[in-house]
Structure 1
Amino acid sequence: MTRVWIIPVHDSTRVRDVRVATEEAGAQARLDTHRTAVAALVATELATNLLKHAGGGRLVIDLVDRPGTGARGPAVQLVALDHGPGIRDVTAAMRDGYTTSEASLGAGLGTCLRISSAFDLYSTHRGTVAVARVDRGAGQEETRSAFGAGGINVSLAQAEHSGDAWSCARSGSRMTLMLADGLGHGAKAAHASSAAVDELHRVAHLPPAEILRHMHRALRPTRGAAVAAAQLDTGSGELAFAGVGNIGARLRSAGSWEHLVSHPGIVGAQFPATVPVRRLPWRPGSLLVLHSDGLPSRWVPPDDAGLLAHDPAAIAATILRDASSAASPVRDDTCVAVLSCDRPAGRP
């Protein structure tokens, strides 16, 4: 099931909580002692930066697979989000060992970049998003194509399990991004969305409508889920989209955003007789966003070309951060997943 750790970092006592949660995540990802210590060092540095430079923020920790990147098993993903003043000189901040804080470990963001399997940073006057992944190997992620996928998943009220899940699977020239929202909250919702993830990796060779039909059978023992599958054929340059239930989707192509609409129903419970499939060209610079209904329906797509060139997980995290605030917090489990192209994933 989708296990997430969400730690608000507003005082120094939470830095230890971040380290402990990261060590627990490392154990679940079956990292060895050294790689778990690497993840804990990166997480501690990110948490310290939230306190000293942003006036606080939150750290989201979960396990992610990186299909097609050469990653060895699940990685621990660390996402730091804040609404601080941003980093004035990102280039300087990314130098190995650079720090301006006496409370820092002295590792600095540059060291985090060097020792992580993947690291990316996006910073503006609206705040900073930092994404790090640590897997079982000692090197950086190796991308095998110009296409990348990434996401972020947060549970309602910092619960242990999120009822949402996302995953990406590749079969030949087909790359399928899937997002599932299990009905309700908690462990039973997480069981439904996790069943969708498992089924995706069994049937990724099929077209989207058939994938959803197989998921319907697989999810019958569960409470069901809303599910959307977007499949990019990297050979033909065509995107096929199909969704059942309340999953949001927006495609950016040729500089503008377009809604992709899911069909009413529940995968595993009330499956429609016909699943409409939308087919669109995938052009250079195209970008797809899938999200659960925890994201406000009127969220504003990013228009910063600089952001759109970043790691897909950083894009997803920025969308999540900017769509909510203390005055308008998320009211459900929330998952955002991004499919992008024309860039090597995992490096800034």
Structure 2
Amino acid sequence: MDNTFSSYKIEDRSLVAFIKREIHNLALQSGFSVHRAAETDIIVAELTSNLLKYANGGEFLYRAREVKGVNEIEIYCLDKGKGIDNVVKIMNDGYSTSNTLGHGLGSIKRLSNDFQIYSLRDWGTVQYVRICEKADPKTPALPVGFNYDVVSVNYPGEIVCGDGYYVKHTSKGFQIFVGDGLGHGEHAHEAVEIAIKAFIRSKGEEAVDILRDIHDAVKKTRGLVATIAIADFKSQTWNICGIGNINTRIYRGLENKTYTPYNGIIGMNIPRTMKSTTVPYLKHQIIIMHSDGLRTRWNLNDLMSIIKQNSGVIAACLYKDNIRGTDDATVLVGKIT
């Protein structure tokens, strides 16, 4: 269930060859053909070259995963450079600001299965690339309902993540779990993995009941903090409850509300009396849940037109601006369509 991104800060060319080799090997291990792995090399080369050339470096996130039987590699390229004035214009072959052929971004677009850019002047740029083992089909239309993405990164130096997340679909709707094991490393990872298994097993229909089931399951672990958000399609409601410092907000247009969790540690001490918060489940809502690896003093409305972006780009933007760097960091963004 550990599906985190590898993260590297690229400040000069010393890491580029290593990252290219790592992703090339990941591609081959994921069933990519030699030709498709070579196309992946081109994408990585263009992304890292642009990162150094135009932004003086940034952060490079990547992972391999399987989605509905399809192997893919996901990449986020984040920088705090001068930004891009006209994203549409620079995507065209032949456009360049540095006396080159200007085929870079066009190549990424052609070779990838999905390529997204979000950029603001003097804020920087977030690029997202999805590369599947086969060049076709292109990105399918998103299903109507709930679409979500997660950016999750280990504490620097750790090989496992103390954060965890899971989305469980039920006959009535779906349930979201986001948790953070105390501290980081192996023991925090163990706590959150046991919590996820308890979340999957739980038959509770209220967030409070599920949290109590998790509390009983993790008593022999280090403990964790977590929030459960349940969407019920029939009643058109959210049912939300959390213990500890998982930040949860729901946006709809310019309106947003933060849901305050209870104090406590799951597996050690939780309130005797808890009550879930029930709020309307509406189209065009965006739910954001993140661990304390990100700062909480942010406002999505500060990023122009960000709600038009897909959920992964939104998550990456929040990560870019608010990562603390002192713990594991996880941000889940879901959009109601």
TM-score interval for Structure 1 and Structure 2 normalised by the shorter chain: 0.7 to 0.9
How far 1:291 sits from its partner (Å)? 1.1
| Inter-CA distance 161–121: structure 2 relative to 1 (3 Å threshold) | same
- What SS is found at the alignment partner of 2:164? strand
Aligned residues of 1:228 and 1:241 also touching (Cα < 8 A) = yes
| Inter-CA distance 189–53: structure 2 relative to 1 (3 Å threshold) | same
Aligned residues of 2:282 and 2:336 also touching (Cα < 8 A) = no
Aligned residues of 2:33 and 2:133 also touching (Cα < 8 A) = no
Q: Distance in 1 between matches of 2:208 and 2:81?
A: 43
Q: Distance in 2 between matches of 1:198 and 1:36?
A: 35
Per-residue CA deviations over 1:39-63 (Å, capped at 9, x if unaligned) read 4443332222211121110111235
Q: Distance in 1 between matches of 2:74 and 2:294?
A: 21
| Inter-CA distance 49–237: structure 2 relative to 1 (3 Å threshold) | farther
Map 1:1-20; keep pairs closer than 5 Å.
Answer: 1-20=2-21
- TM-score normalized with structure 1 length: 0.82
Per-residue CA deviations over 1:245-289 (Å, capped at 9, x if unaligned) read 211111213522211011222233334434421111133332111
| 1:190 and 2:189 correspond | yes
Q: Which runs of 5+ in 1 are unaligned?
A: 343-348
- What SS is found at the alignment partner of 1:302? helix
| Inter-CA distance 18–107: structure 2 relative to 1 (3 Å threshold) | farther
2:47 equivalent in structure 1: 46
Q: Tell me how large the CA RMSD over aligned residues is.
A: 3.1
Q: Distance in 2 between matches of 1:224 and 1:164?
A: 12
- What SS is found at the alignment partner of 2:305? helix
- TM-score normalized with structure 2 length: 0.84
Q: Distance in 1 between matches of 2:172 and 2:94?
A: 41
2:69 equivalent in structure 1: 72
Q: Which amino acid aligns with 2:146?
A: F
How far 1:109 sits from its partner (Å)? 2.9
How far 1:2 sits from its partner (Å)? 4.8
| Inter-CA distance 11–65: structure 2 relative to 1 (3 Å threshold) | same
Map 1:265-304; keep pairs closer than 5 Å.
Answer: 265-304=264-303
| 1:123 and 2:122 correspond | no
- What SS is found at the alignment partner of 2:44? helix
Per-residue CA deviations over 1:198-226 (Å, capped at 9, x if unaligned) read 44445588443333333334434432221
Q: Distance in 2 between matches of 1:173 and 1:141?
A: 28
Aligned residues of 2:206 and 2:276 also touching (Cα < 8 A) = no
- What SS is found at the alignment partner of 1:156? coil
| Inter-CA distance 315–265: structure 2 relative to 1 (3 Å threshold) | same
Larger radius of gyration: 2
Identity %: 27
Q: Which amino acid aligns with 2:218?
A: L
Per-residue CA deviations over 1:112-168 (Å, capped at 9, x if unaligned) read 334434332111111001122334554234322242111212233353333222333
